[in-house]
Chains A and B, each alone.
Chain A
């Protein structure tokens, strides 16, 4: 929508230019969607020309301005073709978890999604799930790094101070090298995530489960090599790590449902990664081109895809 209080659009990447009434403009899909009656200037990152994706032996550097469309293309790109990174299998399910259409992906950015701080932000899920590290530039010229899992601290709340700018997210090689699993549930078909869990069995044998969407902020459960849990231990860990008030309560799912689904999906992920059993609730997993249908489809469903036209 129009933001009629905006007086100027200033192309810059320099946080020192920031003053009260300014907002960083990345893709604009959030700013222009919610609108504003107080902002005076938009600091436009549109001409930053930061390389969207930089692949090195250490991992992947995603510019904050990397669009979701660019990210979606990454797993099949030449840059990652010769990499043994099973973790890339998470990219497309996370992109598909956007309630927003693929058209929005042409504009919206990885950094913008994280900075919006929504519990159901799928870029937060992806980057937190892969132990991404955010680099944040400050108006005073300094910079700092924060794990993405700690960037979002509540519903639409982040650690970013006024004027701070998210520059990039580093996805480290060890996490990308892990075997991964993904589970997601929504109250509607292909709708907003009510629960989104990502699991990793790292090369060193450790297990990491990252809970998003069902909780107000990301919650990570870490089990070092040699201490990977059985079902009961995992359930205890979920219970101990997520106190009741941390479950998110909004129109996209009752907290009691989100809580039970968190336990259920965590266990499905544990069992899958440890090779015990394969039960899949929800959509987009295991990854294949794209799934038109939510949830645990009987494979024969394709014969008669009645739902969703």
Chain B
């Protein structure tokens, strides 16, 4: 019996152990997504005979004789399903990878189910949005609310919507809530992510599976390929003997020397459980898996070390001890130290002597995984010219190209890297983790090769946030001033040093620099251990350090009897103050392009005050004898661009049909930069974003783009686009002036035309005239990421804690952000809400656990709880009113930073409620309960 898919009987027969998701994708239904492959995330939701199921755990054979509806079949000939309309209208998505499953689920809801979304959407995980926009979309409350931040919290609207832009934006331009250009493709399931390539486009596609190390530290003595090659369908096996000898770093930066060269494509030494040992390439995934299982590997087991505290002790096994520290840029290979910084400004000894209160505590942050809904994946093939083409789930296509060129010693022009739409990144895809292997295989086999990581491989063998152990000592005097701030920092980079120096340095940067204090001391080490490597992750070291420092600021305020926000106002930097962390001179290219930290503090304080009053007025301030209530906040600062250069090249052109095209290098993974590019160009060209086509993330498109990380999408690439668009505008006006004889100053771009005095020249006529004149209506923009500015975020919470069970309830969550001029308020609000949700996961639930043998035990989503709809409160979001002198049209970065103040704000609120300082993340209910119990039973 055939399986009917969207009304048509399929000709194919499912394999016995195949799940329905794979079957549907093989039949070309790419809207059905593989997120977790274990029934947890809901991205693969389809209807079978009208009933919603997770197709990744639905045996395909069970669908025989049944009718399956996928996202591709949800709408009708007349158009979109109402749920699709609502998601489009409300922009209920960011990267969009979860969206089809979300809509397929919501399409089955009745009013009663819509009234209880925490329950009914808990089987649909979204890592980007924080669920607010999804809730509004499901309930049809979407709409284009320019000033709706916090509006749905009854009474939470600040007077006159303080902080929000008060000038009405021109539609489609700066300040307007322009919808994402990809919206239609996302809601119809036709947006093409990395592996959504029809099979006819890749004839002869091979699949790769990896054999991974079972040992935390071992030397590979031998690998017998023969049993694997004997498996039917296996085409090739690659081991360290087949791999380039060059050492590189999987971390991707503009300057590769920012990271230590300590990694080989395939190494003969394995340094963590899960490291790649061999790659098996076969005609099918099943054959590749069987081949990998059949490989016979002999290991010489070496002594491992699992904690940074042990790894820096004398006599600890040197994980990269054989390497030349200078050549590989490893600080001290024999001591497992990748990078270190030692600095003292002023004298902390003097500062502590002058203190009336000293707080000393060890703070600990945990390993956290990005859990982008799309796993790492790439496909490599050779095009008709013999060029190596890589299609990858990456934030940095141009840097991947550079790295492959270096590792495989290939001229850059022989490599092309493209990204489709990327299903979430968060820093995890600022890394080469799959591309090198598919390149190796495709170059050797001259056939297309695909590698897709499983969700378990994501947890066990990609990267995590760097765990930090921070011993902090800080002093304050009774006048309310910081007198000394001393930090001893140990970061665990795992088996490889990708991003280890950068994360350590950045962590110790703006977190300290935001406070005026003449006496600061930092001793920080980034240390190797035989565990899963750490890497880049939203915040890049700042969130860890800000957790410690903002917790300490709270303790100091309590210690001297001052309101914590008052204490912050007294000590935080103000325009003109040097921003100092570990060097006596400020970074020369970092300026106060604008300053809204004071506004952010005021916005949060006022919102918390209103919230308190709201609860009191509603009679909700007493939750009963088991509950205690508290309030807390924290602030954060971030440089708007990473240091040492971040480059973008973009090209803006006027097309023959009168539309504009913008070619950019940056990838789109839900960050919304595509919308921002369109809006910036539209503003410069006096048109609407809908008339601007953005082409992106293809190394053939523009010269270079460092990539979408370090929150650089708007402020670097956007600046390049704005520059190019302004130049194009001038060029168009010049052509118009020559056509009409009007003075150039009298020629003004209007939508679709140029107004020259009283004459109007259509853009199409400009195109024709330019062709005759030999004028090229395409301009290039470049920006090098300097000078830089600073952006700010302040978060506040009101919480209730149940002293009998440890349950934590968030009564109010509010964040104020200084993003400069907000290009797209709805989108920027979405970035902030998403950052808050991701941070809440890291504060309350998430931890990649590594056992005593070095093995990651939290290797599926049921063992690693990311926030579901039920976990995330609706946050109030406010914007400061500032106008940045360095960013494009006054804008600043706002993608990493909303994450940073959340953990300490929550810890401070819990401290305020319970009197207990939680210095270790995550702060789970069981730990809260036990701390309360042990305090009450301890002798006072």
Contact = CB atoms under 8 A, between A and B. Distances in A.
Nearest to B847: A251
A190 B135 contact: no
Contacts of A261: 805, 929
B812 interface: yes
A307 interface: yes
Contacts of A187: 845, 865, 924-926
Given A2-B285, A104-B123, A251-B847, A308 B17 contact: no
Interface stretch (B114-122, B372-380, B435-443, B882-890): B114-122
A5 B17 contact: yes
Contacts of B53: 103-104, 106-107
Nearest to A254: B926
B576 interface: no
B75 interface: no
Interface string B793-830: 00000000010111101111000000000000000000
Contacts of B869: 308-309
Those 8 A-B pairs whose CB atoms lie nearest each other, nearest first: A101-B123, A6-B17, A4-B286, A3-B17, A257-B926, A308-B118, A189-B870, A32-B57
B873 A191 contact: no
Contact of B802 (A5, A107, A295): A295
Given A9-B16, A190-B122, A100 B873 contact: no
B927 interface: yes
Contacts of A101: 42, 54, 105, 120, 122-124
Contacts of B62: 28, 46
Given A103-B53, A296-B802, A298-B624, A4 B290 contact: yes
A104 B868 contact: no
Given A308-B873, A309-B874, A296 B285 contact: no
Interface string A284-309: 00000111111110101101101111
Interface in A26-68: 28-29, 32-35, 37, 39, 42, 44, 46
A290 B870 CA distance: 13
A294 B869 CA distance: 13
Interface of B: 15-19, 22, 37-40, 42, 45, 51-54, 56-59, 61-62, 105, 112, 116-120, 122-124, 131-132, 135, 153-154, 284-286, 289-290, 293, 454, 614-615, 618-620, 623-624, 626, 802, 804-807, 809-812, 844-845, 847, 849, 857-858, 862-865, 867-874, 924-927, 929-930, 933
A306 B118 contact: no
B936 to A, nearest CB: 12
B57 A33 contact: yes
Nearest to B139: A309
Nearest to B22: A2
A309 B620 contact: no
A251 B37 contact: no
A93 interface: no
A304 B874 CA distance: 11
B131 to A, nearest CB: 6
Taking residues whose C-beta sits less than 8 angstroms from the other chain, chain A's interface range is: 35 or more
21 contacts: A4-B286, A4-B289, A6-B16, A7-B16, A29-B57, A32-B19, A33-B56, A34-B38, A42-B16, A102-B123, A104-B53, A187-B845, A254-B927, A258-B926, A281-B802, A290-B116, A294-B807, A294-B870, A308-B117, A308-B873, A309-B118
A96 interface: yes
A184 to B, nearest CB: 11
Interface in A72-123: 96, 99-104, 106-107
A302 to B, nearest CB: 10
A56 B538 CA distance: 59
Given A2-B22, A264-B805, A106 B39 contact: no
A107 B868 contact: no
Most central of B19, B154, B805, B857 by chain A CB within 10 Å: B805
A308 to B, nearest CB: 4
A29 B42 CA distance: 13
B119 A190 contact: yes
A19 B383 CA distance: 49
A304 B620 contact: yes
A100 B105 CA distance: 14
Contacts, number: 221
A192 interface: yes
Interface string A1-22: 1111111110000000000000
A190 B118 contact: yes
Contacts of B54: 29, 101, 103-104
Contact of A42 (B17, B123, B847, B926): B17
B19 A306 contact: no
B868 A188 contact: yes
A86 B580 CA distance: 68
Given A4-B289, A107-B57, A306-B810, A188 B16 contact: no
Contacts of B22: 2
A32 B118 contact: no
B123 A100 contact: yes
Contact of A103 (B45, B61, B626, B870): B45
A264 B54 CA distance: 37
A52 to B, nearest CB: 15
Contact of A296 (B57, B624, B927): B624
Contacts of B290: 4-5
Interface of A: 1-9, 25, 28-29, 32-35, 37, 39, 42, 44, 46, 96, 99-104, 106-107, 185, 187-192, 194, 250-251, 253-254, 256-258, 260-261, 264, 281-282, 289-296, 298, 300-301, 303-304, 306-309
Nearest to B46: A103
A188 B844 contact: yes
B109 to A, nearest CB: 10
Given A251-B847, A254-B927, A296-B624, A290 B805 contact: no
Given A42-B17, A306-B811, A99 B862 contact: yes
A103 to B, nearest CB: 5
A293 B871 CA distance: 10
Nearest to B875: A306
B116 A306 contact: no
A298 B857 CA distance: 37
Given A103-B54, A300-B618, 18 more contacts: A1-B19, A2-B286, A29-B39, A35-B37, A100-B123, A103-B42, A189-B118, A191-B868, A250-B863, A256-B926, A257-B806, A294-B870, A295-B809, A296-B624, A296-B802, A307-B810, A307-B873, A308-B873
A307 B61 CA distance: 41
A306 B152 CA distance: 10
B625 to A, nearest CB: 10
A106 B623 contact: no
A103 B41 CA distance: 11
A188 B930 CA distance: 16
Contacts of B15: 2, 4, 6
Contacts of A256: 926, 930
Contacts of A188: 844-845, 865, 867-868, 870-871
Most central of B811, B864, B865 by chain A CB within 10 Å: B865
Contacts of B135: 309
B419 to A, nearest CB: 25
Contacts of B871: 188-189, 191, 308
B132 A309 contact: yes
B26 to A, nearest CB: 11
A304 B618 contact: yes
B188 to A, nearest CB: 21
Nearest to A3: B17
Contacts of B626: 296
Given A32-B19, A37-B293, A46-B62, A309 B117 contact: yes
A251 B926 CA distance: 10
Contacts of B18: 2-3
B228 to A, nearest CB: 14
Nearest to A261: B805
Contacts of B56: 1, 32-33
